[in-house]
A and B are shown apart, each in its own frame.
Chain A
């Protein structure tokens, strides 16, 4: 069975500074990993996905994430935060034998002007 732990429930950054959202996963097999973003009163939008190709994955809106098997981590980063990045971010895992998604608890990002 797979699971995800998001290490920070809330991250606050200043506009223009880097963002780091931490995620550790547990998986029986080779996992697929995703980051989704949820803006207020909106659905879940896919930011990026890792599916056993390149370990550094680039997504939309300048986000990227690095898969580190030895650390069972899939941290999300962005070099320069924008006000529009304020949202809730979910790290999500799916196993090879289990197509349903398992979500982390989410990290709320606030961006200070």
Chain B
């Protein structure tokens, strides 16, 4: 069964540094999402992306965050200047169709640790 793949599985970065988290969505999927889960807290929506544009973003997704689909397969999340509170598990998800009834397919996540 096709999977969403995320790299790296664990990223350790110094505070203030830039970090890029990478995702390869399922190949025929067109809608992409990032979520994060801070340890002990709920999984939270960050951003949705379609047709090379952000469709929706949460309050968390401030100017320090950006997303990009640099080629036909990758979908990246960049954090420009990391803070301690950015430490979390970041999940990428994708769907083929848009709709409230479409289940999102998730990757295994990237654990980001900011020192």
Contacts and interface: CB of A to CB of B under 8 A. Distances in A.
A103 B42 contact: yes
Contact of A99 (B42, B48, B58, B91): B48
Given A43-B91, A94-B101, A96-B100, A101 B45 contact: yes
B56 interface: yes
A34 interface: yes
Interface residues of B, number: 28
Contacts of A36: 106
B108 A32 contact: no
Interface string B1-21: 000101000000000000000
Interface in B12-41: 31, 33, 35, 41
Contacts of B104: 101
B45 A46 contact: no
A36 B107 CA distance: 13
Interface in A90-110: 90, 94-106
A103 to B, nearest CB: 4
Interface of A: 31-32, 34, 36, 41-46, 49, 51-52, 90, 94-106
Interface of B: 4, 6, 31, 33, 35, 41-45, 48, 55-56, 58, 91, 93, 98-109
